Structure 1
Amino acid sequence: MFRHLGVSIDSSDHSCGATIQAVCLAHSMRARVSFWYAQPIPDSPFAELQGEHAAGEALTRADAAARALGVAPYLGANLFTAGAGEEILNAAARAGCDAIVVTHDPARGLQGSTADELLKHATLPVLMFGPACAPARTPAVELLRAEYQRLSSLLHRWLCLLGTVHAEDEGALHPYWLAMRSVITYVRQTVHPLQRCKETRLFSRVRNRAPEVCAEVDELLLLSRRESDLLDELESNVARPLDSNAALTGLSSALARYANLVWYARGREESVILPAALCHLEAAEWEQLHAELHDACGASDSASVSGTFASVSDTLYKATLAGEHPRA
């Protein structure tokens, strides 16, 4: 029996599945759990910003999964390090963990990996989860995953865009106003219809088949309404003149709140609702659900929106490296 699991996570689907398995293990033993996102030391301020946001998403999803499954996270941290294995071992010692959980994809080879470092140098048990822990891939689940990743990618680019702008650079955000608006339009035209379909079709089926997750369904419906409110707040911030420190701070805060809620809701959904659905729904129901979800989100060219925003955020990044922000 372990009392405190230290879990090394990353942004992969494989890690997501292993994280849920680790939390389930902690729940079965009434153990605490801590999460660490170890990544290489960034070689630029922009790379550091990207790394912080990637870690923020993964840690938020892991925290949400733990809370949804009844395990209170002890701590979560982003570790920029030249040696991930050593840093994770140090973090585990500081937190008082009595076992470490790590994921590993055999396709990448074990030698030189973080898992390899931990297995060689750990003085406490190391539990390794393989690729079979990744979420099951039905077409409907894959569609939901793909649309979530597209939205998350847009949010990351937007967060990085705001993180590279300084309020004193008057007009720096003006060239990107249409791109920011396009993200909100994409959410309203593609993400929200898909979400409503998911709630009415998938959640209702799960509620009927698995009464034990009804409370979690209700929680996710509340989060969905909160998410809609935060999108309204974000839209109102985009509509304001973005030519002052207060305006930039307000927009950045609104975006961070919205992104964190999107990530948190996904963590709860993938740890409770999707596993219950995979357990209880029949193949014919999955086929019907896939068709319904596809119809709900098929009208918008979300790839075009994603490409447009990637282009403008990359432009800002290059201008930042050159020491000059574009001006209106």
Structure 2
Amino acid sequence: MYRHLLVPLDGSELATNLVTQSVEFARTLGARITFFTAREDFGASGEGALQRTLAPQDYIDEAAGDAYAILAKAKAAAGQVELRCDTVVRTGARPWELILQVAEERGCDLIFMASHGRRGLQAFVPGSQTQKVLAQARLPVLVATVERNMPAGAARAAIGIILDEHRSIASVLAGLRAAMREARERDTLPDLDFIAALLHYIKSFPEVLHHPKEERFLFSKLAARTRDADEILAVLRHEHEEGGAIVADVEAAVERCRTDRSSLVTLALTVDAFIESQWRHLNTEEEIILPAALEHLTEADWREVEQAFRENGDSRVGGEYDEGFKKRFAKLMNVTAAGDNWQ
């Protein structure tokens, strides 16, 4: 049976569901996963060459793209079930060739990929990346029609978005844990500015975007359909309310470390407790609330939840505001990847 899966990702909504499916498939087999994504060679373009000269930092950000952000969320999904995984980023104009190269280099025995990605139905026409992999691969390729393997319609879409947002939060938590672990191993202060940036994202994204949508739409609709989840919903709402205060405590511990190195122990303990509480919160929502919602919510309910999460349910946190979070997350993951020596 298959022991090592290569899972190519492109950052599309279908790729979010592909991660979910591939992790469950690998866990069932007792296999490991190498998550892979490709990015274009921005430096080889005319725009890239000009930006490298006129705005070097902007060039660095554009060249890095969102590859590490895509892979960070996949790693978070695998980590949730303690599944072994690696990540690979390659730059090139022909992703299908890179997929085959990485599969061979890493000794993968199965390529697990989506039937199509960002280009939708166009990927079914001859010349698509999936078709080229199928035609050229020397190892088995499992084409997962991921859009058919989750609950139909709005429920599938809403759950995909919620899981994607959870994985963003989990990825930042993992970056925070890695920064503190490195500081302990080297017996030195961590990069406090980087930790402050991670905390700012955690505080801003869940508090401003994610939690309000959960409470206003998902939680409220579940409470209206069944009383079985009332107790756990009350706990989750309370955790949302106290979340900002807990982050503020961690931020205060960071600031103390800037002037008092002996405060590092307190910072480490505070960060560890915070991360554990966040993991419990995310796991509770995914293991209890989402299954309960699938059981009790109607298709009409799910359409409202999907619209809220897709459009943010409030103009003040939509559009450019949401794009700002995405760009900030990508930058944080690029720094985290550099620190972890990702490939």
What range describes the TM-score normalised by the shorter chain of this pair?
0.5 to 0.7
Residue-by-residue CA offset, 1:160-199 (whole Å, 9 max, x unaligned): 2552452655472136525523431332222221121134
CA apart distance, 1:38: 1.5
State the partner residue of 2:233. Answer: 221
State the partner residue of 1:311. Answer: 331
Q: Is the 8 A contact 1:38 1:79 kept in 2?
A: yes
Q: Which of 196, 201, 207 is matched with 1:177 structurally?
A: 196
CA apart distance, 1:16: 2.3
State the partner residue of 1:192. Answer: 211
Consecutive unaligned residues in structure 2, runs of 5 or more: 8-14, 37-66, 87-104, 117-129
CA apart distance, 1:85: 3.1
Residue type of the alignment partner of 2:286: G
Aligned residue runs from structure 1 range 27-42, under 5 A = 36-39=31-34
2:164 equivalent to 1:149 = yes
Residue type of the alignment partner of 1:236: D
Aligned residue runs from structure 1 range 1-328, under 5 A = 12-17=16-21, 36-39=31-34, 54-60=74-80, 63=81, 76-80=82-86, 82-85=106-109, 104-107=113-116, 108-109=130-131, 111=134, 117=139, 130-136=145-151, 138=153, 142=157, 145-146=160-161, 148-160=163-175, 162-164=177-179, 166=183, 168-170=187-189, 172-174=191-193, 177=196, 180-207=199-226, 214=228, 217-218=229-230, 220-221=232-233, 224-225=236-237, 227-228=239-240, 232-240=245-253, 241-242=256-257, 243=261, 244-268=263-287, 272-276=291-295, 281-283=298-300, 285-290=301-306, 296=313, 298-300=315-317, 301-311=321-331, 314-315=334-335
TM-score, structure 1 normalization? 0.55
| Change in CA separation of 1:195 and 1:111 when aligned onto 2, cut-off 3 Å | same
User: In structure 1, the residue corresponding to 2:83 is in which secondary structure?
Assistant: strand
Q: How many residues align?
A: 258
CA distance in 1, matches of 2:6, 2:230: 28
CA distance in 1, matches of 2:308, 2:18: 27
| Change in CA separation of 1:314 and 1:145 when aligned onto 2, cut-off 3 Å | same
Q: Is the 8 A contact 2:73 2:171 kept in 1?
A: yes
| Change in CA separation of 1:296 and 1:113 when aligned onto 2, cut-off 3 Å | farther
CA distance in 1, matches of 2:158, 2:35: 31
- Using CA pairs under 8 Å that are at least 6 residues apart, name the structure with larger relative contact order, 1 or 2: 1
Q: Over aligned residue pairs, what C-alpha RMSD do you find? A: 5.1
Q: Is the 8 A contact 2:4 2:31 kept in 1?
A: yes
CA apart distance, 1:236: 1.5
Q: Is the 8 A contact 1:206 1:273 kept in 2?
A: no
CA distance in 2, matches of 1:249, 1:265: 24
Residue-by-residue CA offset, 1:292-311 (whole Å, 9 max, x unaligned): 66565543324323423543
Residue-by-residue CA offset, 1:14-72 (whole Å, 9 max, x unaligned): 3525777x7xxxxxxxxx9565441279xxxxx99x97874453352xx5xxxxxxxxx
- Percent identity of equivalent pairs: 10
CA distance in 2, matches of 1:173, 1:131: 41
Residue type of the alignment partner of 1:105: A
CA distance in 2, matches of 1:226, 1:9: 40
CA apart distance, 1:138: 4.4
Residue-by-residue CA offset, 1:239-268 (whole Å, 9 max, x unaligned): 212455424423542353244235423532
Residue type of the alignment partner of 1:299: R
User: In structure 1, the residue corresponding to 2:150 is in which secondary structure?
Assistant: coil
CA distance in 1, matches of 2:316, 2:213: 11
Q: Is the 8 A contact 1:7 1:19 kept in 2?
A: no
CA distance in 1, matches of 2:279, 2:167: 10
CA apart distance, 1:237: 1.7
Q: Is the 8 A contact 2:19 2:77 kept in 1?
A: no
Q: Is the 8 A contact 1:186 1:302 kept in 2?
A: no
